[in-house]
Amino acid sequence: MPQTLSAPAHSEIIIKKSRFIGCVQPMADRASAQATVDALWKQHPDAAHICWALLAGGQSAAVDDGEPGGTAGRPMLDVLRHQDLEGVLATVVRYFGGVKLGAGGLVRAYTDTVAQALLGAEKVILQRMATLQCEVPYALEGLLRRETEAAGAELLQVEHASQVVLRLRLPQVQADAFVQRINDLGQGRVGWHPVQD
């Protein structure tokens, strides 16, 4: 089951006088990743390279930033894939130490930096969520609130009009069973509305 990270985690290794500063963090899309890399350049203006890999569905990317092709971004991306992660950005800031590492040495340095950062990272299971919206008579509001809490769902919004409109979020895998249970308990008095996520 795919996982993401709950918070950023860092690492730092030195290989033949070159300093590799790694970070893995949750990241939703390429625009956010690019903004993060741009901020890293401001923090490390003297760095030789800032290589990065983003594993985020169709927005995934692998950037070597001047290192020989395939020696940084792609190996970093492979580490993220191997750990079954999704929605994660890995960055490595390299300060060149004057000694060339060769292609194999670079691949090892970048993968080791990311792997070390991941050792300290807290992983969380990535669940696809469903947002549901229903309309019930006032007499059923308490029942629906209790069932929402019992299911571990998050109550997002409640509107009181001619009827009570409730919007809630829960894991996608629980949605059908939840709707069926509410329909059974509501005995035909629950109206469901499509929601755009």
Rounded distance between C-alpha atoms, residue 24 and residue 4, angstroms: 10
Q: Is the pTM of this model over 0.85?
A: no
Would you place residue 197 in the very low, low, confident or very high pLDDT band (cuts 50, 70, 90)? low
pLDDT tens per residue, range 6-29: 899 999 999 999 999 999 999 988
* Mean pLDDT, residues 129-143 taken together: 91
> Residue 116: pLDDT above 80?
yes
**pLDDT, tens digit, 9 for 90 and up, residues 70-115:** 999 999 999 999 998 989 999 999 999 988 999 999 999 999 999 9
Where do the domains of the chain lie, and which CATH numbers do they carry?
A: 3-125 (3.30.230.30), 129-193 (3.30.70.240)
Residues 74 and 89: their CA atoms lie apart, in Å, by 13
How many CB atoms lie under 10 A from the CB of residue 160?
Answer: 9
Crossing angle of the two packed helices 73-82 and 102-119, in degrees rounded to 10: 40
pLDDT confidence of residue 57: 83
pLDDT higher than 90, residue 52: yes
Give me Rg for the CA atoms of the chain.
23
